[in-house]
Amino acid sequence: MNFERRAKDIWKMAENYRDDTAKFLSDMVRIRSYSGQEEEICKHIASLCEDLDFDEVKIDGLGSVLARIGSGRKILAIDAHVDTVEVGDLSQWERHPFSGDIRDGLVYGRGSSDQKGGAAAMLSAGRILKKLNYDDEWTVWFAFTVMEEDCDGMCWKYLIEEEDLVPDFILSTEPTSCRLARGHRGRMEMELKLKGISAHGSAPERGDSAAYKAARAALAMEMLNEELKPDEEGFLGKGSIVVSQIDVKGPSQCAVPDVARLYMDRRLTWGENAELAIGQVKEKVGQALGVDNVDCVMPDYAKTGWRGTKYSQELYFPTWKTNEGHPLVQAGVRAYKGLFAKAPAVDKWVFSTNLVSASGRHGIPGIGFGPGDEKEAHAPNEVNRIEDLVICSAFYASLVYALEGVKASR
């Protein structure tokens, strides 16, 4: 059967599964699954994959669900993280954040776009591949991963380095508004520690305020952010830095504070790395404070997953991009054209995804295509479009066929 005919069959099946896909998402939204607390949703997804007759279903040591279709010598991974951020101020939500309401072509609730929508579409894509009896060149691993919101990509660092699951290509289903993404900026976190000298609050001139040092350091970061440059290609845009937390402490409320801590989120464009970013902070803060030695470090992250496994990494998430002419990107274009008779928009994410590990850290060619909009992520009144779920479930299944004959580049 030619590819175009196959794509039409896939689209028809995705349409037939529309209501089921929406219900998959609705049911997942109703399950609270904050980072490190994903046991219930992972067991729910594993049960669904077994009911849908995936060829193999297992849960890795960190807690991610892996569901396989096919047994080819080349490996395609399709990823969705199933943890969410918390809901924030409940008064800002028009519906309960875990309602999972289905109404007017939308599914409502926390995680509907970021990013259980991708997980729901993956379930239907696997169902389509099973109905088509797919068993050709590719092994397709559907990965429903954990702890992304706390430490994006750590789940894939674990899969690659501890479980030895090394795909040839990877697709992230983070929301792209059904556009094809081929890269995004990396990021890192930095901690700056400042010291002052305490004195009684009635005589501040006797001390050296860590609070004022923190203020000058924060303004230096504002200046640094304005000076950062975009990448040469002009694709990923400029790097950025923001002071996300400031803590100042002293012996009492009536004293000059002697300790300050600034926490920073640094977004890294192409050509920037951790060493460069830390050096820039040290230089700018040193100039602002008139000192030579500045205590700025990149912290580590460590957490115990729901299965009891403790894992850690430094809070560095490398930049990645896949060239537009790469066979994986072109297969994505072909898959989309086969379904909709037009080329997709090819773009990038603004935020960060698990591909910082698979593609940024480990060099696995990656793309993204997901239901819902980036702006819904972490926002109140989060929703996803059911139409996007249908489009994406068809696209994921179609991509597998579009990759037939493509040589793995690893």
Mean pLDDT of 100-109: 98
DSSP label of 132: T
The residues near 396 (Cβ < 8 Å, ≥ 6 apart) are 78, 121, 122, 125, 171, 173, 369
Query: What is the structure's pLDDT at 408?
Result: 84
If pLDDT is split at 50, 70 and 90, which confidence band does 409 have? low
Indicate left, alpha or beta for 344 from its phi (over 0: left) and psi (-120 to 50: alpha): beta
Count of CB atoms situated within 10 Å of the CB of 191: 15
The residues near 112 (Cβ < 8 Å, ≥ 6 apart) are 25, 29, 100, 372, 376, 382, 383, 384
Q: What pTM, to 2 d.p., does this model score?
A: 0.94
Which helix (H) or strand (E) segment holds residue 219: the answer is: helix 210-227
Mean pLDDT of 346-362: 97
Q: Is 9:108 a contact under the CB 8 Å cutoff?
A: no
Q: In what order do the strands lie in the sheet with 180-181?
A: 56-59, 65-69, 138-145, 74-81, 169-172, 366-368, 180-181, 346-347
pLDDT of 39 higher than 80: yes
Count how many Cα atoms sit within 13 Å of the Cα of residue 318 in the half-sphere of its side chain.
15
Query: What is the structure's pLDDT at 410?
Result: 59
Please give the positions annotated as active site.
83, 148
**Contacts of the segment 278-281: beta carbons below 8 A, 24+ positions apart:** 278/190, 280/224, 281/190, 281/192, 281/221, 281/224, 281/241
Q: Is 399:335 a contact under the CB 8 Å cutoff?
A: yes
% residues pLDDT > 70 (the chain): 100
Burial of 227 (0-12, 13-18, 19+ CB in 10 A): exposed
Strand duo 106-108 + 138-145: pairing: unpaired
Indicate left, alpha or beta for 332 from its phi (over 0: left) and psi (-120 to 50: alpha): alpha
pLDDT of 183 higher than 90: yes
Query: What is the structure's pLDDT at 103?
Result: 97
If pLDDT is split at 50, 70 and 90, which confidence band does 1 have? confident
Q: Which domains does the chain have, with CATH numbers?
A: 3-184+319-402 (3.40.630.10), 187-302 (3.30.70.360)
